[in-house]
Amino acid sequence: MATLASEASSDALYLLHEGTQYQSYHFLGSHVEERSGQMGVNFAVWAPNAKQVNVSGSFNGWDGSNHQMSLADGVWTLFIPELGEGTLYKYEIVTLDDECYLKSDPYAFHSELRPGTASIVTSLEGYEWQDEEWLANNTSNQFLQQPLLIYEVHLGSWKRKEDGGFYSYVELADELVEYVHERGYTHIELMPLEEHPLDASWGYQVTSYFSVTSRFGSPKDFMYFVDRCHQKGIGVIMDWVPAHFCKDAHGLTRFDGTPLYEYADSRKGEHPTWGTQVFDYAKPEVLSFLISNALFWMDVYHIDGLRVDAVYSILTLNFDREDEDRIVNEQGGDENLEGIAFLQKLNAVVFSRYPNALMMAEDTSSYPGVTAPVENGGLGFNYKWNLGFTWNTLAYMKKNQEERSSQEDQLTNSLLNAWDENYIIPYAHDEVVHSSKSLLGKMSGDDNWQRFANLRVLYIYMMGHPGKKLLFMGNEFGQIDDWNSEASLEWDLLKFEEHQQFEHFVKNMNHFYIAERALWELDYEPSGFEPINAEDKSDGLVSFIRNAENDDEHLVIMCNFKPEAHEGYRLGVMRPGRYQEVFNSDKQEYGGSGVTNDSTLVSEEWTCQDCPYSITVTIPPLAAIVLKYIPAKG
């Protein structure tokens, strides 16, 4: 890594203050290096408004008076000989008001495990990566036409040890990675792993953006985890939190005695509901910090992409703000023009260096063009979470059968705007916490059989709906209780047959999804989807066709959201030929009633449901079937 004292340091600082220094972690922070034949540690920190900054640590009894740093162009530096890896340290900030306090290093590569808050001198060099094949095959922007099936994980609660302790990155690299691989997922999405003081924040309130959390091991342990994922053909996405940071005293808040990383105007600089502070996106050094951090996880840890949290709060000045506290921009609107510019710059820079990166927006707003290219005025993400689909379908599935008859639009409205953005369909962690019930717990039904059947048909509808897919851990085997971030998932449920059958269903569904190009190849092209327009909008039946680029490769999907079976149902289809049932959520092996279509179905030239041909099919109760088209010969 480069050092601040190199010949190019003035250029590096110029770019830092311009907001275009995208590898600022190369010279800011602590770095083990050699100076004049002597090994030691070079410390560098941006704190332009401090009166004095000293290095305080385990090596000087936490008294920095003998290790004063020198200031040049807003950055304080000091080389201390004979120090090395493992040294605990903080920066002793003396403010213009002569107050003195200790701050963790914003660019530290490793930090103490809570409740400790010291930074740890750590080298990130020397790990021997074994993921060359993954990187070699990951060279073109191909994901829009590839399957993307994401398993969202909170590492602290996927599985706990008998004593309640965490599994390490190294242990998870074997057990979790193999689990995900066997079940057909293409990617793991990790809830935030930047160092954070409070377990209950799940990592969304960060203090050290360049420190992978020490809860599960060392930085090189995490490299091993990512490496093992890639060797198994699994991509790694990490949740990233550039929208806000926590107010803990050792963190970024009022770092040099002034609002340095946050907006000085408290109306813009705080999220009152979250109790956090907002980055000042107008400040060039903050842009250098954030964009360097995004690239850091890709540069150093080979992360394949970032899910950017709370995008809506970056887009607007009035997120979660009362009307009387409303503020406006210079154009009279409530858009945060600086936040919008930051997101556009972030994505432009990331894709200029990593064209195949996955940049996903968790955005609850209706802001247009989230996944449109920056050069066309968009934000430049390549994916956006479709939370409208999530909320509407779950609201429908909670309803009893009598209520559902007039509410089918909740299921199908998302098809009206399915191509407005490049959507990911998520059933994520936010849907199963805070007494909101697990996905299984949300399902209506008179008994467990109906609840499981409801969840199976919902999952097939999700898999058939245009857009890539995400499922939070535990939902693959029918977790019963809310997600508890302080304990293991309910693995003991797999002792019971109905949960074993449901896990078997999800595993088979995942592999079916991966194998069928029609379910993902044209996700973002209207030609990849054809509705089958049934006249009765209250019968609980939703039918549609999914197409691949090959015109003869398509699937007919029929979902029955009511407990009545339909024998001899005439279903409209668009093409003449034969149709074979290739997936059925009602199979007995999945816990269903066993109503299937065992014979090949042959189309007739009989107009039905706005389609020129039709077939006669048996539709099982509370279930989905998938029919594969077999072209007519000759």
Task: Report yes or no: 351 and 380 within 8 Å, Cβ to Cβ.
Answer: yes
At residue 398 the predicted structure's pLDDT band, cuts being 50, 70 and 90, is very high
CA distance 471 to 426: 6
pLDDT (tens digit, 9 = 90+) per residue, 410-430? 899 999 999 999 999 999 999
The dihedrals phi and psi of 385, each to the nearest 5 degrees, come to -70, 135
Overall average pLDDT of the 481-501 stretch:
97
Task: Report yes or no: 25 and 107 within 8 Å, Cβ to Cβ.
Answer: yes
Q: Which residues pair with 361 in a beta bridge?
A: 308, 384
Sheet holding 245-246, edge to edge: 245-246, 276-277, 270-271
Helix (H), strand (E) at residue 172: helix 169-182
* 30, pLDDT greater than 60: yes
* Cis peptide, bond prior to residue 115, ω within 30 of zero: yes
309, 338, 521, 523: the active-site residue = 309
pLDDT (tens digit, 9 = 90+) per residue, 578-606? 999 999 999 999 999 999 999 999 999 99
Query: pLDDT at position 102, please?
Result: 97
Contacts for 12 with CB less than 8 Å, ≥ 6 apart: 2, 4, 21, 24, 26, 27
Overall average pLDDT of the 4-15 stretch:
67
Model pTM score: 0.96
CA distance 57 to 91: 8
Query: pLDDT at position 406, please?
Result: 78
DSSP 604: B
Distances (CA, A) of 419 to 263, 373, 428, 594: 36, 15, 21, 35
Higher pLDDT, 361 or 412: 361
* 225, pLDDT greater than 60: yes
User: In the CATH scheme, what is the code of domain 147-166+178-213+230-413+427-498?
Assistant: 3.20.20.80
| Percent of the residues in the chain that have a pLDDT greater than 90, as a whole number | 87
CA distance 596 to 92: 71
The residue among 561, 579, 571 whose CA lies nearest residue 624 is 561
Residue ranges covered by each domain of the chain: 9-120, 147-166+178-213+230-413+427-498, 526-631
CA distance 441 to 455: 10
Contacts for 514 with CB less than 8 Å, ≥ 6 apart: 147, 149, 184, 186
* 613, pLDDT greater than 70: yes
Question: Do the first three CATH levels of 9-120 and 526-631 match, i.e. the same topology?
Answer: yes
The residue among 465, 459, 464 whose CA lies nearest residue 477 is 459
pLDDT (tens digit, 9 = 90+) per residue, 251-262? 999 999 999 999
Sign of the CA dihedral with 313 first, then 315, 320, and 324 last: positive
DSSP 326: -
Is CATH 2.60.40.10 the right assignment for the domain spanning 9-120?
A: yes
Task: Quickly list DSSP for 207-253.
Answer: SEEEEEPGGG--HHHHHHHHHHHHHTT-EEEEEE--S-EE--TTSST
CA distance 361 to 355: 17
Distances (CA, A) of 421 to 392, 408, 526: 18, 23, 12
Interstrand relation of 270-271 and 245-246 (parallel, antiparallel or unpaired): unpaired
309 is catalytic: yes
- Write the single-letter amino acid at 91: Y
Contacts for 366 with CB less than 8 Å, ≥ 6 apart: none
CB-count exposure of residue 111 (10 Å: 0-12, 13-18, 19+)? buried
CA distance 469 to 482: 21
At residue 3 the predicted structure's pLDDT band, cuts being 50, 70 and 90, is very low
Helix (H), strand (E) at residue 508: helix 497-515
189, 280, 338, 362: the active-site residue = 362
Q: Is 318 helix (H, G, I), strand (E, B) or coil?
A: coil
pLDDT (tens digit, 9 = 90+) per residue, 98-157? 999 999 999 999 999 999 999 999 999 999 999 999 998 876 556 799 999 999 999 999
pLDDT (tens digit, 9 = 90+) per residue, 51-85? 999 999 999 999 999 999 999 999 999 999 999 99
Q: Which residues pair with 624 in a beta bridge?
A: 559
Distances (CA, A) of 196 to 241, 431, 623: 11, 23, 43
Task: Quickly list DSSP for 6-26.
Answer: STTHHHHHHHHHHT--TTGGG
Q: Which residues pair with 31 in a beta bridge?
A: 42
334 is catalytic: no
CA distance 208 to 241: 11
Overall average pLDDT of the 169-194 stretch:
97
526-631: CATH superfamily: Golgi alpha-mannosidase II (2.60.40.1180)
- Write the single-letter amino acid at 181: H
* 538, pLDDT greater than 80: no
Distances (CA, A) of 249 to 93, 104, 117, 171, 276: 12, 9, 10, 33, 12
Q: Is 512 helix (H, G, I), strand (E, B) or coil?
A: helix
Q: Count CB-CB contacts under 10 A for residue 184.
A: 19
CA distance 348 to 6: 28
